Structure 1
C-alpha cells in the first residue's frame, strides 16, 4: 500500500479563479519562516498571494490568495495555521464577469477573471462583503433586468471616476459564503478608500439596495515588510 498522500481531483471554477481571503491573529507559536514557506510554496505553484498588515483589533495579518484549485487554497490555509497563526476571519469567493458586464471588451473580461495583484503603487487595502437587499421597501431581485442594468451602469460610472487611484476587485460568493460578493479595494492613499466607498454609496444601486458586512483595512507590501510590521521576524 502506497504511503504517498492522496491527490484529490481539482475543485476549480469553469471560468476564472478561486479566491480565499484569510485573516489571522498572531500567537506565541507563530513562526515567520513557516509562514514564508507556506506563501512561497503557493506562489511557486502559480498562485497569487497578497500579504496584508491589518490595522485594528480584527486581525493582525491577512492574505488574499487566488488560483485555479480550491484544494491548493485549502492547503495554504492549513499550512498558515500550522505555522502558528490563529484564523479569526475568512471569505470564500470566485472571480467572475457580472451579468451586467457581459458586453465589455475581452481584455476587460480577462482582467476581472484573472486580476494581477497587488497593483503597483496602491498599498492601502480594504476588504468587505456585500449583498443586494431583499426587503419589502427595496428588493433588488424583483426589479426588471433593464432597471437593474441602468442602476449598475450608474454605479459603475461612479467607480470609474477613481480610475488610477483605486483598483476594485469584485468577486462572486453567492452560494459559497454568507454574502453575495466580496469587494477588495487597493488604493494609493487610505483616504481614497474612504472617498470611493462614500461616493458610491450615494448611487441608488447602493443607497437603496445594498447591505454591507464587516470592513477589514490595512496595507499591502512585500511579505518581509508585512511580517516585520506585525512583529514576525
Structure 2
C-alpha cells in the first residue's frame, strides 16, 4: 500500500557499552642480571617496586577503581603478568611510563602485551532499540540516530557502571586469553543475521552464569586496538574451574563453530605486600 511506512534496513552491529581501558603486560625476568646485584641494591629496587604496586593496587580514592595487579606466570611463556585497569588510554600510558622509569624495569623483558577496553554487548536489546529509532523516522548512522542510541542506553550504562569500571577481583588465580570470531569463506560469524547471533550468544552466556559463584569473568574488546578481537580474564580461587568452564563452552555453537583462540596465560596473584619475596625467590 502506498501509505505504508518503509523502515530502513536495520544495522547488524550490536550496540556495545565501553568502560575501563585495560593493558596486560607479560614479562620474562632477568634472574641472571638480578642475582649479580648486591643484596642491599636488590632490596632497595624491590622495595621501590612494591611501593608503586601498592599504590596501583589501592586505586583511586574517588571515582573508578583504576587499579593494577601483579601475577606470577606458570609455564614457559614468561615470569610476570601486570594488568592495569584505568579510565583512559592516557592513564594506561602513564602507568607504562612510571614502570619504565622504575629501578625494576631493566630486569623486565617484555614478552607480550594486550590492549583493550571493558566491553558489554547489548545483543538482547539492540534490535529493539534499532526498531524504535527507525519507527521514529531516524536514519541509521545520522547524528540523530547516534544521539537516540546514547539516550536509550544511558540508563543501562549507569546501572552497569560497576561492571564497566570493575575492581580487579582479589582471587588467587588468573587465566587470560585473546580470541576472535571466525570470518572465513565457509564460516563467518559476521555474516550471520543479528537474531541468530543473539540466540547463540544467549546460549553461550547461560554456561558462564552456571559458573558465576566460582569464576569472575571480565570481557574486553580489542577490535582496532590489538591483534585479536576480544580479551578474556577469568579470576578464581581454584584453577581447575578454568578448565571445566572453557571445556564446557567448547560444546556450544559460538565456540565450537565460530571461535578462534590465542595463547592462554595462567598466573597466580602476587600482592604488593609479597612482591619483595617474589624477587628473592622466597614467596611461599
Verify same fold: TM over 0.5: yes
1:91 counterpart = 2:114: yes
1:116 corresponds in structure 2 to: 167
Alpha-carbon distance in 1 for matches of 2:220, 2:77 = 22
Residues 51 and 272 in structure 2, CA contact (< 8 A), matched pair in contact too: no
Alpha-carbon distance in 1 for matches of 2:158, 2:90 = 28
Aligned residues: 218
Of 156, 163, 185, the match for 2:212: 163
- What is the Cα deviation at residue 159 of structure 1? 0.6
Q: TM-score, normalised by structure 1?
A: 0.84
Alignment of 1:11-90 (within 5 A): 15-27=18-30, 28-29=33-34, 31-43=45-57, 46=60, 47-82=66-101, 83-84=104-105, 85-90=108-113
Alpha-carbon distance in 2 for matches of 1:151, 1:222 = 38
- What is the Cα deviation at residue 213 of structure 1? 0.6
Alpha-carbon distance in 2 for matches of 1:181, 1:126 = 14
1:208 counterpart = 2:222: no
Alpha-carbon distance in 2 for matches of 1:208, 1:129 = 17
Of 187, 190, 198, the match for 1:141: 190
Distance 1:42 1:187, change over 3 A: closer
Q: Can you give the 5+ residue segments of structure 1 that lack an aligned partner in the other structure? A: 1-13
User: Deviations along 1:68-112, whole A, 9 cap, x unmatched?
Assistant: 132222222233234222221110000122132558966762232
**Structure index of larger Rg:** 2
CA RMSD after TM alignment: 2.5
Q: TM-score, normalised by structure 2?
A: 0.70
Q: By percentage of residues, which structure has more helix?
A: 2
Q: Higher mean Cα deviation, 104-113 or 86-95?
A: 104-113
